[in-house]
């Protein structure tokens, strides 16, 4: 045991291998927007379209429609008191009426499609990188050599096939739309790899919490992701465009900003925008893509995938599903695995490598040892 403790690196960091951009929000109409974008993606079709238009009289020429960048709207609203009241107020009708009469004035950001638009388009890029066997920082040569051997064995044994399949499914099922996915009539996802091959998915054909079933298109995308994670390809750039038929004028949901120094009378909800275009944080997109952990102890009871995190943290539930006490957290497993000890199952190996793909600082200080 003493030998292992000496081999644990006190400085250890891994760069993330899945690098999403922010997701930009656009509005348009289902048929014409998808058709126009499909022509733009195909150089041959685009050339034929342009040549056809040149032959027409100027007044008869058609123009490919473009999605309209969605902008934020500021609203001033008068809300009602809806928070839980103290028992003394809630049980006294006079005090309750006095409380209800108080105006709950707010300024909030909102985002919605225009009155003639029925489709939300969310576009982002995802860069996939290799080099998982090389930490970005490590101050212990013995540990580094041991870890490199373990990483090479994982690549040789599993080839990142399982992780890549799950990442590909989370692209295909449009999990990254989050709340915008709920209530959509149709969702189509188009993934264009290195500005060449485009793969089109009907998002509702793929389940959110079942990663066992894949089709040829998902497998195609997964194979390319796996090749990159293994280091056979230097990098992969995937352009992802999702079209959600949500209905004319419907509200859509960009990321909400966390404002720590909010003063009284300031806007109570601030949404994220980039250069005037409503957007979703890259962190939120990344969280959706790595929501692949069905290996945590309570999965059979919960039946819900969670994001890959060192302690299986799900912040909206206020719970950590992988605890050090149960020896199911990343650090308990990694400290054994990286030093050449066998883990109980392939699933634990997949989980450990998925956390390394996520990236982070994982060094062990002398106080922790």
At 154, list the tokens. 């994982």
pLDDT at 265: 62
Residues 6+ apart with CB under 8 A from 175: 181, 208, 288, 289, 291
State residue 368's pLDDT score.
Answer: 56
C-alpha 300/C-alpha 154 separation (Å) is 26
Do you know the residue count of the chain? 369
Residue 341 tokens read as: 């000890």
pLDDT of residue 118: 97
Closest CA to 123 of 171, 185, 72, 194: 171
Contact 286, 240 (CB under 8 A): no
DSSP string, 181-219: GTT-SEEEEEEEETTTEEEEEEGGGS-SS--S---HHHH
pLDDT at 4: 47
Q: Is 355 exposed, middle or buried (0-12, 13-18, 19+ CB in 10 A)?
A: buried
Distance CA 327, CA 318 (A): 20
**327 vs 96: CA distance, rounded Å:** 50
Read off φ and ψ for residue 26, nearest 5 degrees. Answer: -135, 160
Give Cβ neighbours of residue 9 (< 8 Å, ≥ 6 apart): 135, 138, 139, 140, 143, 144, 363, 364
Neighbours of 272 (CB within 10 A): 21
What does pTM read for this prediction? 0.92
- Residue 9 confidence (pLDDT): 86
Within the chain, which residues score under 50 in pLDDT? 1-4
DSSP state of 271: B
The per-residue pLDDT for range 99-140, each reduced to its tens digit, is 777 777 788 899 999 999 999 999 999 999 999 999 999 999
């Amino acid at each position: 045991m003493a030998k292992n403790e000496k081999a644990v690196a006190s400085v250890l960091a891994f760069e993330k291998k899945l690098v999403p951009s922010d997701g930009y929000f656009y509005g348009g109409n289902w048929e014409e927007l998808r058709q126009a974008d499909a022509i733009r993606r195909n150089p041959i079709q685009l050339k034929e379209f342009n040549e056809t238009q040149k032959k027409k009289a100027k007044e008869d020429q058609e123009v490919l429609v473009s999605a309209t960048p969605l902008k934020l709207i500021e609203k001033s609203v008068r809300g009602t008191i809806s928070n839980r009241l103290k028992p003394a107020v809630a049980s006294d009708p006079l005090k309750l009426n006095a409380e209800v009469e108080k105006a709950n004035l707010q300024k909030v950001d909102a985002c919605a499609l225009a009155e003639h638009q029925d489709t939300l388009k969310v576009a982002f890029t995802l860069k996939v990188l290799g080099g998982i066997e090389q930490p970005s920082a490590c101050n212990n040569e013995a540990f580094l050599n041991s870890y490199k051997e373990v990483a090479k064995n994982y690549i040789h044994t599993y080839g990142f096939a399982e992780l890549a399949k799950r990442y590909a499914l989370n692209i295909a099922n449009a999990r990254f739309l989050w709340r915008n996915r709920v209530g959509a009539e149709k969702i189509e996802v188009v993934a264009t790899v290195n500005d060449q091959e485009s793969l089109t998915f009907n998002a509702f054909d793929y389940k959110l919490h079942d990663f066992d079933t894949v089709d040829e298109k998902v497998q195609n995308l997964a194979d390319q992701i796996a090749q990159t994670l293994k280091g056979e390809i230097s990098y992969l750039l995937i352009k992802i465009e999702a079209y959600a038929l949500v209905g004319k004028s419907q509200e859509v949901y960009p990321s909400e900003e966390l404002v720590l120094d909010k003063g009284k009378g300031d806007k109570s909800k601030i949404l994220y925008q980039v250069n005037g275009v409503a957007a979703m944080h890259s962190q939120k997109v990344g969280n959706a893509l790595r929501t692949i952990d069905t290996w945590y102890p309570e999965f059979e009871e919960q039946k819900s995938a969670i994001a890959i995190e060192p302690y299986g943290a799900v912040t909206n539930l206020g719970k950590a599903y992988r605890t050090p006490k149960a020896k199911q957290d990343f650090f308990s497993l990694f400290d054994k695995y990286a030093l050449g000890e066998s883990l109980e199952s392939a699933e634990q190996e997949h989980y450990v490598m998925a956390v390394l793909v996520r990236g982070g600082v994982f060094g062990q200080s002398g106080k922790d040892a």
